[in-house]
């Protein structure tokens, strides 16, 4: 290649960024703290009093369907001495009674009673701390940033790109939580390229035509689209990603809606919801088979990511070069990380 046509290969993020607890605290505020975070499906919050509680990038929060039909979300933190109000997971409650000393809150978060407390406090001063909640189609999101754009705007072109998929009609099949045991960006880098498919994923490599694999980045929106055509007897693949951690993996047989959730600087998890249009008993075995096929791919990614994380932490590697042809998604992902940290006053 002569000098005129020489293409630069950008540098990857330094290895230290994948294990630095202080950097994680900054990412938590600047990236996950300013994004909308998927927390529930609409079917989990249909009846009044139903709630979903979850820890979003280190913030325990919950969403509740009120008796008035409205969805409300709060930090899951009692204003007395910080106990959780509801248990993590999905449930129902008539009253919001703190599990520690029994303070009672209304469904709108107002502190109502402080049984046995023995002193006068201003109830109005100690309501639950509200956070934003919005729905898009059958999915419910929360956001900790009061200045973030509304959910539909934040999702950007993901909404049009997913328009053809009957999310509302799709039936929830199963949830899987996969403990990755790596920094969230180690998995992000991995998701951002198909370069490793032939070497890491033999079954996926047989199912799709890698010669058609393409990546499109809608930079300003934080959206990446990966797609590949079906190989004979296989499935096409469409992977939609909204930065930082929302993925729609769409195959001919159904889809998974996935969250990449950082737990701390060295741990993250994937929460998979498998959705199918057909939930008849006759096709159950087929759905299980497809889910197993998908989980094999996840397991292969987890394995390679753990080994990469070990080596990033070993102190021998600092940074590498990214392919401007096959790793455009990685380059973009890492730019988004840098950009968010910079715009948060890095």
Question: Which partner in ligand FES, Fe ion, none is near 272 (CB below 5 to 8 A by kind)?
Answer: none
Residue 341 Ramachandran class (φ > 0 left, ψ -120 to 50 alpha, else beta): alpha
Question: Which partner in ligand FES, Fe ion, none is near 103 (CB below 5 to 8 A by kind)?
Answer: ligand FES
Q: What is the SS3 assignment for 181?
A: coil
Least distance (Å) from ligand FES to the CB of residue 85? 7
Span near ligand FES by CB under 6 A; candidates 75-83, 205-213, 283-291, 297-305: 75-83
Q: What would the two tokens of residue 240 be?
A: 């939609």
Q: What would the two tokens of residue 27 be?
A: 């990412």
Report the residue from 30, 56, 57, 78 that binds ligand FES according to the rule CB under 6 A.
78
**Other Cβ atoms closer than 10 A to 154:** 21
Least distance (Å) from ligand FES to the CB of residue 102? 6
Q: What would the two tokens of residue 126 be?
A: 């100690």
Strands (E), the chain: 36-41, 50-56, 59-65, 71-75, 89-92, 96-97, 104-105, 111-113, 130-136, 139-143, 171-179, 214-218, 223-228, 237-242, 246-251, 254-262, 268-276
Q: Which among 309, 46, 83 is positioned nearest to 190, based on CA atoms?
A: 309
Q: What is the pattern of x (binds ligand FES, CB under 6 A) and - over residues 83-122?
A: x--------------x-xxxx-------------------
Question: Which partner in Fe ion, ligand FES, none is near 132 (CB below 5 to 8 A by kind)?
Answer: none
Report the residue from 27, 189, 261, 301 that binds Fe ion according to the rule CB under 5 A.
301
Report the residue from 80, 113, 209, 306 that binds ligand FES according to the rule CB under 6 A.
80
H/E stretch holding 194 reads none
Q: What is the pattern of x (binds ligand FES, CB under 6 A) and - over residues 24-63?
A: ----------------------------------------
Q: Please identify, using beta-carbon distances, which residue of 102 and 156 lies nearer to ligand FES.
A: 102
| Sites of contact with Fe ion (CB under 5 A) | 301
């Amino acid at each position: 290649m002569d000098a005129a046509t020489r293409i630069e290969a950008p540098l990857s993020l330094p290895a230290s960024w994948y294990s630095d607890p202080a950097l994680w605290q900054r990412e938590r505020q600047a990236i996950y703290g300013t994004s909308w975070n998927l927390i529930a499906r609409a079917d989990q919050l249909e009846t009044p009093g139903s709630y979903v509680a979850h820890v979003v990038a280190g913030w325990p929060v919950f969403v509740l369907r009120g008796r008035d039909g409205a969805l409300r979300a709060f930090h899951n933190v009692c204003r007395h001495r910080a106990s959780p109000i509801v248990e993590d997971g999905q449930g129902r409650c008539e009253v919001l009674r703190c599990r520690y000393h029994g303070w009672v809150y209304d469904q709108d978060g107002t502190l109502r009673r402080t049984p046995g407390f023995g002193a006068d406090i201003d109830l109005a001063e100690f309501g639950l701390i509200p956070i934003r909640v919005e729905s898009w189609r059958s999915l419910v999101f929360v956001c900790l940033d009061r200045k973030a754009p509304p959910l539909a705007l934040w999702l950007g072109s993901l909404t049009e790109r997913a328009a053809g998929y009957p999310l509302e009609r799709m039936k929830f099949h199963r949830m899987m939580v996969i403990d990755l045991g790596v920094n969230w960006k180690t998995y992000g880098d991995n998701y951002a390229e198909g370069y490793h498919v032939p070497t890491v994923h033999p079954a996926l490599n047989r199912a799709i035509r890698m010669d058609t694999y393409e990546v499109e980045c809608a930079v300003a929106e934080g959206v990446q689209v990966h797609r590949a055509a079906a190989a004979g007897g296989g499935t096409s693949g469409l992977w939609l990603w909204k930065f930082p951690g929302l993925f729609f993996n769409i195959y001919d047989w159904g889809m998974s809606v996935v969250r990449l959730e950082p737990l701390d600087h060295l741990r993250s998890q994937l929460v998979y919801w498998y959705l199918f249009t057909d939930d008849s008993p006759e096709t159950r075995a087929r759905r299980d088979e497809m889910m197993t096929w998908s989980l094999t791919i996840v397991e292969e990614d987890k394995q390679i990511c753990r080994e990469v994380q070990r080596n990033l932490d070993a102190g021998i590697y600092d940074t590498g070069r990214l392919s401007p042809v096959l790793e455009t998604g990685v380059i973009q992902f890492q730019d988004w990380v840098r950009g968010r940290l910079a715009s948060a006053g890095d």
